[in-house]
């Protein structure tokens, strides 16, 4: 063979022909893939340009400054018809964030309760929890949203004969009416106190962990944190002279006036999202607790730790390592699922911006692009943080 070289009796392996050389092949293959991809995007780009020209669609983000001219059912910031399309984007985004954050809080609490209940000693409790999980997991979320919205909330009596849930809380087919808090001068100090308390809890946590590592003495972190979280703002609230009033609803002849009204679309979406996601969280929590072997508990007990200490120092930290990664992806799912709001007309990002605004302004490319970018950056951001957390928490082995 031509390229076989004899150097001092050692036979070098023959170099394969280029079409059989893995290195050459992989380079060629990648170049071909790159060319195909570029060609694909170029074609799409050209097609889009021609199509938009023939249909007379302009491009660019100038439409964001035009007047929207439609109302939105619910808005956290000031908004009316005279505001811009750009403002509708912000309104939708804030509504998405509101329902996602509240949904995550409720789903986490309910999910942990259900997950622990599935492992209960009491047969009835365990059965009920597993019926809950199996039912909600296997029915589409969209169907559940329609059920809550159409079959439950729309079927409620009208405002004239509202259901009175408790003093000053009314439920009717226009939504849930609760007392509206009116913050007076000086209430901002309560918010500041709350922030200070949260910062204080972090400092306390670090200090307590350090002390535990160094001296072995435990510190009742949980109860002091709760005390700090509730006590400090309460104290400031009392010092400032109770700067908070409530405006309650009064029954007029035809409906209720005053108070804060939570629209039924919001309630249906919140109930649907949180109960559905809670079923998945319950399974994650159960798997996490089962993943800590019983030997760990027994070892902790034989070291003389009390039941509470065993849970706090041995079981929960190990279970959390298993629970947190899938829990985060459930949070992401909940946020993405909140886009189903479009089906029951809760004014979230997709419903307002990719729905009404798109229909009026007609800038499909820009609007869908913006909406996707929002969700994408949210997902990528959270997965990035998750990976950092995972690296920190992962078991360090040999």
Three-state DSSP string of the chain: CCCCCEECCEECCCCCCHHHCHHHHHHHHHHHHHHHHHHHHHHHHHHHHHHHHHHCCCCCCHHHHCECCCCCCCCCCCCCCCCEHHHHHHHHHHHHHHHHHHHHHHHHHHHHHHHHHHCCCCHHHHHHHHHHHHHHHCCCHHHHHHHHHHHHHCCCCCHHHCEEEECCEEEECCEEEECEEEECCCCHHHHHHHHHHHHHHHHHHHHHHHHHHHHCCCCCHHHHHHHHHHHHHHHHHHHCCCCEEEECCEECCCCEECCEEECHHHHHHHHHHHHHHHHHHHHHHHHHHHHCCHHHHHHHHHCCCCHHHHHHHHHHHHHHHHHHHHHHHHHHHHHHHHHHHHHHCCCCHHHHHHHHHHHHHCCHHHHHHHHHHHHHHHHHHHHHHHHHHHHHHCCCCC
Pick 198 or 385: Cβ nearer other proteins? 385
The region of 127-135, 158-166, 172-180, 213-221 touching other proteins under the rule CB under 8 A is 127-135
Pick 248 or 342: Cβ nearer other proteins? 342
The region of 27-35, 69-77, 258-266, 315-323 touching other proteins under the rule CB under 8 A is 27-35
By CB under 8 A, the residues from 76 to 115 that bind other proteins are none
By CB under 8 A, the residues from 347 to 366 that bind other proteins are 350, 354, 358, 364-365
By CB under 8 A, the residues from 304 to 343 that bind other proteins are 336-337, 339-340, 342-343
Pick 34 or 182: Cβ nearer other proteins? 34
The region of 148-156, 185-193, 256-264, 296-304 touching other proteins under the rule CB under 8 A is 148-156
Cβ at position 20, least distance to other proteins in Å: 11
Q: Does 291 bind other proteins (CB under 8 A)?
A: no
Pick 154 or 245: Cβ nearer other proteins? 154
Pick 278 or 314: Cβ nearer other proteins? 278
Single residue of 12, 105, 143, 291 touching other proteins by CB under 8 A:
143
Pick 233 or 272: Cβ nearer other proteins? 272
The region of 28-36, 85-93, 97-105, 174-182 touching other proteins under the rule CB under 8 A is 28-36
Give the interface with other proteins as residue ranges (CB under 8 A).
26, 29-30, 33-34, 37, 43-44, 47-48, 50-52, 54, 121-125, 128, 134-135, 137-144, 146-147, 150-151, 154-155, 336-337, 339-340, 342-343, 350, 354, 358, 364-365, 368, 371-372, 375-376, 378-380
């Amino acid at each position: 063979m031509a390229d076989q070289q004899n150097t001092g009796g050692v036979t070098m392996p023959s170099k394969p022909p280029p079409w059989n050389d893995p290195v050459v092949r992989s380079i060629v293959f990648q170049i071909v893939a790159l060319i195909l991809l570029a060609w694909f995007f170029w074609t799409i780009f050209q097609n889009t340009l021609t199509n938009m020209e023939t249909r007379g669609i302009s491009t660019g983000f100038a439409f964001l400054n035009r007047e929207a001219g439609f109302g939105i059912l619910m808005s956290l910031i000031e908004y009316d018809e005279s505001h811009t399309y750009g403002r509708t984007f912000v309104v939708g985004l804030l509504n998405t964030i509101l329902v996602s954050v509240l949904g995550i809080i409720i789903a986490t609490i309910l999910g942990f309760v259900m997950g622990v209940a599935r492992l209960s000693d009491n047969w009835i409790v365990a059965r009920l929890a597993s019926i809950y999980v199996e039912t909600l997991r296997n029915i589409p979320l969209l169907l559940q949203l329609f059920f809550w919205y159409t079959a439950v909330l729309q079927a409620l009596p009208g405002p004239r004969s509202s259901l009175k849930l408790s003093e000053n809380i009314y439920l009717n087919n226009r939504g849930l009416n609760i007392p509206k808090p009116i913050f007076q001068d000086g209430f901002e100090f309560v918010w500041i106190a709350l922030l200070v308390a949260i910062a204080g809890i972090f400092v306390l946590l670090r200090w307590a962990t350090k002390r535990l590592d160094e001296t072995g003495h435990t510190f009742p972190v949980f109860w002091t944190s709760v005390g700090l979280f509730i006590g400090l703002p309460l104290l400031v609230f009392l010092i400032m002279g109770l700067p908070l009033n409530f405006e309650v609803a009064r029954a007029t002849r035809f409906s209720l006036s005053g108070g804060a009204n939570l629209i039924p679309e919001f309630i249906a979406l919140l109930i649907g999202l949180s109960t559905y996601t809670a079923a998945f969280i319950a399974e994650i929590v159960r798997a996490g607790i089962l993943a800590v072997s019983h030997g760990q508990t027994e070892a902790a007990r034989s070291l003389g730790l009390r039941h509470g200490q065993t849970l706090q120092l041995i079981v929960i930290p190990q279970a959390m390592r298993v629970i947190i990664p899938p829990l985060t992806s459930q949070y992401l799912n909940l946020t993405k699922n909140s886009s189903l709001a479009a089906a029951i007309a809760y004014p979230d990002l997709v419903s307002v911006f990719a729905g009404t605004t798109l229909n009026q302004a007609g800038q499909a490319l820009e609007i869908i692009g913006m909406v996707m970018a929002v969700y994408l950056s949210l997902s990528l951001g959270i997965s990035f943080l998750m990976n950092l957390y995972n690296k920190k928490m992962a078991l360090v082995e040999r």
